[in-house]
Structure 1
Amino acid sequence: MTMQDESDRKYRAPALEKGLDVLELLSSHGRPMTPSQMSVELGRSVSELFRMIQVLEFRHYIEATPDGYRPTNRLFSLGMTQAPVKSLTEGALPIMRDLARDTVQSCHLVVPTEDQIVVIARIESPGDLGYSVRLGYRRSIIDASSGLLFYGCASDRTQVALKARLEPLYDADRLARYYADAEAAAAQGFVRRASDFVMGVTDLVAPIMGADSVIATLITPYIQHAGAACDIDASLEYLRAAVRAISAEMSGMSQA
């Protein structure tokens, strides 16, 4: 929150703000945190945070693990009930089912959120072997294959906003590589690269376009196996046809 935002505020709710601070911290941290770690990061005492943590756990916004507390998918589920996201998933899921059937691979629908990507829908491989991640999975936009298209295919205004978020977090050389790779991905119209997260998986990613910018990506984490219905080149073509169909579907929804 900026100083201008602080000066414009009419009301304060300290307890609510402490709870939101905990949620935002856990969501951005990427791994479980203990109350002591939260205390250090937020500059508040453990006793000050104790009630917030207990209430958030009782309401199922966070959960305890052996390593500390982590967010649940409750906020994600609430967000999914909003009309724009619901329209995207409703339009995409039938096409994603066809894609999974045709390729015998899983697929994921991904959207950007600030400086991260988040998986909002998935279809499992209909075969015996496949790779998928949980709904609500997040990763830094600069490290994700989808992140290349979320910058490269974005409008000028969105690129400026994303740069402002990334520049305080990464050094100039890392950002320069990201921007160059993103421009190359946009020019190509897709991403095809070995996963740096799971051995033996090749990320196939294509953008779902809105009126003037990318609104989501569709990913096929391709695994070569005996039951594969088609090779990686054919799977990429199925994927690109799927994003064209979803883009057209979303265009029809926005005009309805």
Structure 2
Amino acid sequence: MPPETPKYRAPALDKGLDILELLAKATHPLSIAEISDGVGRSRGEIFRMLQVLEERDYIARADGDGAYSITPRLFRLGMEQPPVRNLVETAMPVMHRLADEIDQSCHLVVPSQEQIVVIARVDPPGETGLVVRVGHRRPISHSASGYVLLAWQTDETRERWFGMMLEHEPTLKRARIEATIKQIREAGLATIPSEVVDGVTDLSAPVIEGNHAVCALTVPFIERRGARLDMKRTSRALVAAAASVSRELSHGAPGTSMV
């Protein structure tokens, strides 16, 4: 069947959303010409919209006269949703205790379509560590956090996520991912070498609410001489911390699910 025609149209809103969605997926700032090509509209059609979005701080130009990139404003608005705010407020005290115990950083990750996004972090108490900025995104299939989120979903949700992932990455090896998430479920956490930084192992454990993971608690583990805890003990501390957040969510207000 052909796609259903929308009952109402708001051309200006469509135009603005097209621009924001294009910039959100871009890996570098885009010029007016690139935005024009990307949304299939003329420069004249998008010029005023770019001005308004810039004035409202949804997009910005680094030098005031160059290419456009999206700002964290939309992310901050999303963080004000009660489910997200409750999740972060519940997890942060536990994350601070975990970082102090393991002397490493940790961060909290939620799903966002075919990607994961970092919504909170705690820096390591010492002078050495790897931190991941809040708002950082990666494909689900290229992160330990994503594998954990996949591993602890219902079959229906996992199937839907795979559909989105394959749409954006058709060459994805689904069988390999399914074998990996089965191992992760048996182990209770993911232990995967970082795809981004050599010498870092991403440890990630699920925060469970109801029958699925609402987020993943992740430690980018760095092996250091003289460290208080090795990877095995750090993994145990991480799993215990994720379980603690899960318990607190289950006794808190309903409606915190992100899926």
Taking structure 1 as the reference length, the TM-score comes to 0.92
SS at match of 1:193: strand
- Alignment coverage as a number of residue pairs: 252
Q: How far apart, CA to CA, are the structure 1 residues paired with 2:215 and 2:67? A: 32
Equivalent position of 1:131 in the other structure: 130
The offset of 1:42, in angstroms, is 1.3
**Is residue 56 from structure 1 mapped to residue 53 from structure 2 by the alignment?**
yes
Q: How far apart, CA to CA, are the structure 2 residues paired with 1:30 and 1:211? A: 35
Equivalent position of 1:3 in the other structure: 3
Greater shift in the superposed pair: 26-35 or 236-245: 26-35
The offset of 1:65, in angstroms, is 3.3
Q: How far apart, CA to CA, are the structure 2 residues paired with 1:185 and 1:134? A: 25
SS at match of 2:185: helix
Root-mean-square deviation over aligned CA pairs: 1.8
Q: How far apart, CA to CA, are the structure 2 residues paired with 1:58 and 1:174? A: 43
SS at match of 1:253: coil
- The alpha-carbon distance between structure 1 residues 68 and 187, as it changes in their structure 2 partners (threshold 3 A), is farther
**Is residue 47 from structure 1 mapped to residue 44 from structure 2 by the alignment?**
yes
Asked if structure 2 preserves the Cα contact closer than 8 Å seen for 1:127 and 1:227, the reply is no
The offset of 1:77, in angstroms, is 0.7
AA of the residue aligned to 1:165: M
Q: How far apart, CA to CA, are the structure 2 residues paired with 1:205 and 1:126? A: 19
Equivalent position of 1:15 in the other structure: 12
Structure 2 counterparts to residues 138-157 of structure 1, below 5 A: 138-157=137-156
Greater shift in the superposed pair: 163-172 or 190-199: 163-172
**Is residue 219 from structure 1 mapped to residue 195 from structure 2 by the alignment?**
no
Identical columns (%): 40
Q: How far apart, CA to CA, are the structure 1 residues paired with 2:103 and 2:54? A: 39
Taking structure 2 as the reference length, the TM-score comes to 0.91
SS at match of 2:99: helix
Structure 2 counterparts to residues 21-32 of structure 1, below 5 A: 21-32=18-29
SS at match of 2:218: strand
AA of the residue aligned to 1:233: K
Q: How far apart, CA to CA, are the structure 2 residues paired with 1:24 and 1:228? A: 43
- The alpha-carbon distance between structure 1 residues 96 and 37, as it changes in their structure 2 partners (threshold 3 A), is same
The unaligned stretches of length 5 or more in structure 2 are none
